[in-house]
Amino acid sequence: MATYYLSTSTGSDTYNGLSATYTSGSTGPWKTLSKALGAAGMASGDILYVAPGNYNESVTIGFAPSAATQIIGDPNSQFFGGVTAGPVLISAFNAAGTSETVTSTLIIAASRSYFEWSNLYFKVSTGRAVSATNARYWKFTNCVLDCNTRASPVGVINLSSASGVALDATITRCRFAGGRYLLQLTGQNVSETTSITSCVFESAEEGIDINNLQVFVTNCSFISCDWAIYQRSGSVSFPSSVRNCLFLRCTQVQVTTTGQLTENFNRWTTATRNNIGTLGANSTTGGDGGIDSGYLLQTNGNYLQTYTPNLSSPNIAFGTATSSPATDLYGVTWSGASPDAGGITYRVITSLPSQVAYNGGIERNASTITIAPGSTSQSIEIYLGATGLTASTSGLSARYNRTRTASVSIPLVARTIAQAWTAGGFAEVDATNMPGVYRLDLPDAALAAGADDVTIVVRGASGTNGAVMTVKLSSGGLTEAQTAGAVWNAVRSSYATAGTFGEYVNTNVNTGAIADAVWDEARSGHTTAGTFGEYVNAELVTPVTSAALVRMGPFEVRADGLGASDPLDIQKGAQHGIDIQCVDNNGAGIDITSATVTAKVYNSGATLVDTYACTATYAADGRATFTIDTTVTNVPGTYTATITRSTSANDTQVFGPLRIYVRDI
């Protein structure tokens, strides 16, 4: 078995088809279907991957397989470097879609069996997409068959078996639209396995045209077809079966002879049944078609699969699970307890995963996320497609490699989704609602600083071709908390470059700068009415400087020490000029001419607080003045002041004391 590659945009029919991209010599992809499917192309049992592009050809298959031979579209361009992802079109139209350049059948096969087609988009108008006579074991999976008219062709896909031989075809998860007959199948009135499952047929004169064939139609939607199903000739010994189907806007289903077709669990709505007989016990007629044709998308309610049932649709869980598919056309598990009527179940799409199946598995394009280097206990989510995988699933393995270093195994450890991180932890996220998604706990060593990125691969299990994810190791991946921590915990002094925010912070915002800015500021520059500056200027500074204007006294400061004079009341923080007179016991002033007169102020603890020099104002009469300042008046309390008159060491008199009250009035 060989694997070949076909790319209309990058290939050449002179290459050998054995590589998805050209390497050297003749190693590279083929260019045309004619080459790949001709006598000198692939052979029985081979696989052909087809790149995105428009294959505008009519091909007659040139070899006769005896085993499954697969033609697989690669719309995600997983294999084809340099080819943009897009539809893999096998089309009657030119690339621009403006002209039908091929009017004959696109794929022609006579006496060819075992062909399996998937992920392909056939577009026709006049001619058929596929015509295979004397055929058996053909399969179509996840394909679209699209015709731009209802006038032709008679069988967008036309399959017929050889005389006396079963057709045994399998049509799964395909969409048919337009055309006179969408699917024309002809058998030999023998026991068959031919099945049509999870498909949509719409806008045609006939959906499925059945001739002498037993076919099992399950979970299909028929929309706007004149004849949804037409069972022409046939045998009641090998009746066809129709189950779990939805018929909407269809005129009728035609059976030539009652008994050729049995039905149950179908929603016929308005379709007339001709010669079907009594309806199955679980089938219904009338009622709402129950599918959304874009209303919720239009009203921004939800983004839903095309033709999804409405949330309360009678289609949901209408069918039977017996001999029915587990998933709908998109591979989505039925939303209800049992299959719906029709081919598409309810699903809200926020990020539609690819439905492309590669050779039975599902592969994902490599994706990239960012995690800060040195992060620990990190988990990532990867898409493996298949459900039910565990750490012990046979063949499943994980590895990582850091930039330009050898790969390292990640031994997988069974986890449930809610369990704590452990290196290699592996858990399925939600098999029902997020099928195919798994959690992988990365070893801390994978994310250690020192590499640009680390690539993680999980692969090897049956049913999946694995997942690849590259983790970019960048601080761009810091969490909000990490970012905040990095900024606020940085050393301020290390970020003082001129012109930066750091410089501004260092210069203007740090604690010392703020204190300096406040205390060193010129007071006179901050006198705006109503501000604290005005208060300081008006209430704290001005009264002090103007205190010199306040006069008190004269007070008698007698030399007898009896403190006969009245006490003074001084406001806290004030500065006062105090006039005093030194008198004798008779009240006559003592001459202080040429004498040194000082005032000494004591607190209530008899501790000298300050000494002031007195200035004579009328020396002959003993009058003088001194100014008491905030050294004393800053602290409320009771003080005593004595006045010392001295002319020499042998001539000193002490007058007073004078009582002073400093109060916070």
Partner 1 sequence: MNFQNYRLEPNPNSPGDWIVFGDICDDAGNILGTFGENGTSVFGWWVLQDAQFQQNYSNQFAVIMAQEIVAGTAE
Give residues in contact with partner 1 (CB under 8 A). Answer: 149-152, 154, 180, 256, 258, 272-279, 283-285
User: What is the closest distance, in whole angstroms, from the C-beta atom of residue 314 to partner 1 in the complex?
Assistant: 15
- The residue (of 150 and 399) whose beta carbon lies closer to partner 1 is 150
User: What is the closest distance, in whole angstroms, from the C-beta atom of residue 211 to partner 1 in the complex?
Assistant: 13
- The residue (of 226 and 591) whose beta carbon lies closer to partner 1 is 226
CB atoms within 10 A of CB 663: 12
User: What is the closest distance, in whole angstroms, from the C-beta atom of residue 279 to partner 1 in the complex?
Assistant: 5
Helices (H), 446-591: 480-488, 501-504, 511-519, 532-535, 542-546
- The residue (of 285 and 333) whose beta carbon lies closer to partner 1 is 285
CA distances 576 to 22, 573, 615, Å, are 104, 10, 14
Structure tokens at 275: 């010669």
What value, to the nearest 5°, has the Cα angle with vertex 197 and ends 231 and 291? 95
CB 56 within 8 A of CB 95: yes
CB atoms within 10 A of CB 595: 21
- The residue (of 277 and 388) whose beta carbon lies closer to partner 1 is 277
- The residue (of 258 and 322) whose beta carbon lies closer to partner 1 is 258
User: What is the closest distance, in whole angstroms, from the C-beta atom of residue 126 to partner 1 in the complex?
Assistant: 8
- The residue (of 253 and 362) whose beta carbon lies closer to partner 1 is 253
User: What is the closest distance, in whole angstroms, from the C-beta atom of residue 154 to partner 1 in the complex?
Assistant: 6
Give kind and range of the element (H or E) at residue 631.
helix 630-633
- The residue (of 257 and 537) whose beta carbon lies closer to partner 1 is 257
User: What is the closest distance, in whole angstroms, from the C-beta atom of residue 182 to partner 1 in the complex?
Assistant: 14
Burial class (CB in 10 A: 0-12, 13-18, 19+), 572: middle
User: What is the closest distance, in whole angstroms, from the C-beta atom of residue 417 to partner 1 in the complex?
Assistant: 48
- The residue (of 275 and 320) whose beta carbon lies closer to partner 1 is 275
CA distances 37 to 1, 42, 144, Å, are 15, 6, 20
State yes or no: cis peptide before 554, omega within 30 of 0.
yes
User: What is the closest distance, in whole angstroms, from the C-beta atom of residue 362 to partner 1 in the complex?
Assistant: 40
- Cα–Cα distance measured from residue 366 to residue 659, given in angstroms and rounded to the nearest whole number: 94
58 Cβ contact list (under 8 Å, min separation 6):
102, 104, 105, 106, 108, 127
In the chain the first and final C-alpha atoms are separated, in Å, by 108
**Nearest CA among 652, 523, 635, 636 for reference residue 597:** 652
- The residue (of 65 and 153) whose beta carbon lies closer to partner 1 is 153
Burial class (CB in 10 A: 0-12, 13-18, 19+), 379: middle
User: What is the closest distance, in whole angstroms, from the C-beta atom of residue 274 to partner 1 in the complex?
Assistant: 4
- 3-class secondary structure, 486: helix
- The residue (of 232 and 472) whose beta carbon lies closer to partner 1 is 232
**Nearest CA among 355, 359, 354 for reference residue 49:** 359
247 Cβ contact list (under 8 Å, min separation 6):
222, 228, 253, 266, 267, 268, 269, 270, 271
- The residue (of 151 and 635) whose beta carbon lies closer to partner 1 is 151
CB atoms within 10 A of CB 84: 10
- The residue (of 241 and 274) whose beta carbon lies closer to partner 1 is 274
User: What is the closest distance, in whole angstroms, from the C-beta atom of residue 49 to partner 1 in the complex?
Assistant: 37
- The residue (of 151 and 588) whose beta carbon lies closer to partner 1 is 151
User: What is the closest distance, in whole angstroms, from the C-beta atom of residue 117 to partner 1 in the complex?
Assistant: 26
User: What is the closest distance, in whole angstroms, from the C-beta atom of residue 225 to partner 1 in the complex?
Assistant: 15
Task: Point out which residues pair with 53 in neighbouring strands.
Answer: 88
640 Cβ contact list (under 8 Å, min separation 6):
563, 601, 602, 656, 657, 658, 659, 660
CA distances 143 to 131, 199, 402, 586, 587, Å, are 15, 10, 39, 132, 129
- Cα–Cα distance measured from residue 105 to residue 126, given in angstroms and rounded to the nearest whole number: 8
Q: Phi and psi at residue 455, in whole multiples of 5°?
A: -110, 130
Helices (H), 185-335: 295-298
- The residue (of 232 and 659) whose beta carbon lies closer to partner 1 is 232
